[in-house]
Amino acid sequence: MKIVLLGYMASGKSTIGKQLSKRINLPFIDLDAYIEEQEKKTVSTIFKEEGEVYFRLKEHQYLKELLNKKERFILSLGGGTPCYANNMKLIKENKETVSVYLFTSVRVLVNRILNNKNSRPLVANLEDDELKEFIAKHLFERSYFYEQADEKIIINKKSIEEIVAELHFLPTLNRQ
């Protein structure tokens, strides 16, 4: 089984993915990090030098590559991955994959993103006071895709134990 974690920027996909990986002993892959390794450039540099469309094409290509692998792993997506190039359909059609939407409130997202806005190409050029409006609208637009995940967990302030307890598919994991 492959566990795919999705959700908005700063929703905790990588942090929770790494903790979950230790907890259930499955390798962890971060799609952004995988893209950076393959392209030998940071995501920010790809956005700057090649543009977002190129990034979305590469994101789709590497997602497909990872989903086609035989191995089992936990994969955290980029915030936009489910929303482009039919990626959510691809994930849903892959029978070995369980997708989990990590829902985080706008208030929490704004506070987290304010701390490292500059490393996030989609918000780096926004003023701090524009952030809340942008995130609220963007999350609303993206929710259509996020909500298609097999499971949804409301993350705000939950411990890893509480999150693990909510993952209904975990008891079946050893059999797949």
Residues 40-79 that bind ligand S3P (CB under 6 A): 43, 78-79
The span of 66-74, 99-107, 114-122, 152-160 binding ligand S3P (CB under 6 A) equals 114-122
Long-range CB pairs of 167-174, under 8 A, 24+ apart, other chains included: 167/100, 169/1, 169/3, 169/98, 170/24, 173/1, 173/24
**In which element (H, E) is residue 5 found?**
strand 2-6
Q: Does 17 bind ligand S3P (CB under 6 A)?
A: no
**Closest approach of Cβ 35 to ligand S3P, in Å?**
8
Q: CB under 6 A: which stretch of 104-112, 120-128, 143-151, 166-174 binds ligand S3P?
A: 120-128
d(CA 173, CA 25): 11
| Binding of ligand S3P by 100 (CB under 6 A) | no
For the record, the structure tokens of 37 come out as 């390794």
Kindly report the number of other CB atoms within 10 A of residue 95's CB atom.
6
Between 21 and 173, name the residue whose CB sits nearer to ligand S3P.
21
Contacts of ligand S3P in 126-145 (CB under 6 A): none
d(CA 124, CA 113): 10
User: Binding to ligand S3P by residue 9, rule CB under 6 A?
Assistant: yes
16 binds ligand S3P (CB under 6 A): no
Beta strands across the sheet bearing 97-103:
28-30, 73-76, 2-6, 97-103, 151-154
Residues in contact with ligand S3P, counted by CB under 6 A, come to a total of 10
Complex with ligand S3P: residue 134 or 167, whichever CB lies closer: 134
* Beta carbon of residue 96, minimum distance to ligand S3P (angstroms, whole number): 23
Euclidean distance between CA atoms 53 and 120, whole angstroms: 16
Which residues are near ligand S3P by CB under 6 A?
A: 9, 13, 32, 43, 78-80, 120-122
